[in-house]
Amino acid sequence: MAITISLCSHKGGVGKSTSAACFADLLAKEGKKVLLVDTDSQGNLSGRFGYPPTPRPPVTLGDAVRNILSDEPKPLKEFVLKTEFENIDIIPNNDSYALAVRDLLKGVMAGVNSYLFLVRELSPGYDYIIFDTKPSVDSEVQQALLASDWVIIPMEAADDSINGAGNMLRFVKGCHKGNPKLRVAGLFFNAVDMRTTTAKAYVPQMQESWKELMFKTVIPYSQDARKAEGIHEPVTEAFPNGKVAAAFRELLKEVEERVG
């Protein structure tokens, strides 16, 4: 069965999609089979792997959810798309997912978590399943956490981002009641300029406060990440020799040590 990880944050713009893309790219380069599930209707992760929200991808997560809840569901592999990256498949998303969320939550009322159903059916074909979630602590994100083994929380060296990470930790604790196997793999700082006063204050402060929950690796700020987003590629693929890619390789080593 695949190791299932959710990338979550209560604060937007902290690099969830960037991190999910980098983890998938680096794991795939290790020979691991990865399934990405883009649960954010903005579709940023989907765009990194060849399926931008416009034009509409051939199939979407909304189609998969409706299929799961239908009277005669098709095999879920029909809703998985290949990417140009070896070992990486994806269930993409776009802005139409707002309508499908209603079906997702109706299913919950009937006792069906579509994300958990998806994981159970597709897991045997992958080493990792990675959920990229929207920036929120709500019932939709909860469904991803109830279907996951681990959660990873990125944050920036700023008040609102750190507060958002704290909110997410409390939310995960509540989700643990419905999914006892769910664990926090760790939190990490992303896009940090250690020359700034705030970074010099916040990074050591939070590493001390959250201790073993914090990954040691800090992802540095660099234009590489913005440029990679602009050309719709993981930064580890677009700029493999850059400092951001090097940091993500170190971070992945820490992640693999924790999640097995």
3-class DSSP string for the chain: CCEEEEECCCCCCCCHHHHHHHHHHHHHHCCCCEEEEECCCCCHHHHHCCCCCCCCCCCCHHHHHHHHCCCCCCCHHHHCEECCCCCEEEECCCCCHHHHHHHHHHHHHCCCCHHHHHHHHHHHHCCEEEEECCCCCCHHHHHHHHCCCEEEEEECCCHHHHHHHHHHHHHHHHHCCCCCCCEEEEEEECCECCCCHHHHHHHHHHHHHCHHHECCCCCECCHHHHHHHHCCCCHHHHCCCCHHHHHHHHHHHHHHHHHC
Average pLDDT, integer, range 137-157:
97
Residue 25 has pLDDT above 90, yes or no: yes
Q: N- to C-terminal Cα distance for the chain?
A: 12
Phi, psi of 156 (to 5 degrees): -105, 165
Domain boundaries, the chain: 3-259
Average pLDDT, integer, range 120-131:
98
Give the Cα separation of 177 and 155 in Å (integer).
25
CA distances from 40 to 60, 100, 157, 218 (A): 11, 12, 23, 25
What does the pLDDT read at residue 109? 84
pLDDT tens digits for range 62-117: 999 999 999 999 999 999 999 999 999 999 999 889 888 999 999 988 899 999 99
Placement of tokens 């602590």 in the chain: 137
Phi, psi of 112 (to 5 degrees): -115, 115
What does the pLDDT read at residue 260? 82
Average pLDDT, integer, range 47-69:
94
What does the pLDDT read at residue 119? 98
What does the pLDDT read at residue 200? 93
pLDDT, mean over the chain: 95
- CATH number for 3-259: choose from 3.30.590.20, 2.40.37.10, 1.10.1030.10, 3.40.50.300: 3.40.50.300
CB 150 within 8 A of CB 144: no
Residue 155's pLDDT band (cuts 50, 70, 90): very high
- Cβ neighbours around 24 below 10 Å, total: 29
What does the pLDDT read at residue 99? 85
What does the pLDDT read at residue 110? 85
Phi, psi of 241 (to 5 degrees): -100, 5
Average pLDDT, integer, range 207-220:
95
What does the pLDDT read at residue 89? 98
What does the pLDDT read at residue 53? 86
Dihedral angle sign, alpha carbons of residues 28, 127, 83, 252: negative
User: Which residues, in sequence order, are bridge partners of residue 130?
Assistant: 5, 36
Residue 130 has pLDDT above 90, yes or no: yes
Phi, psi of 103 (to 5 degrees): -65, -40
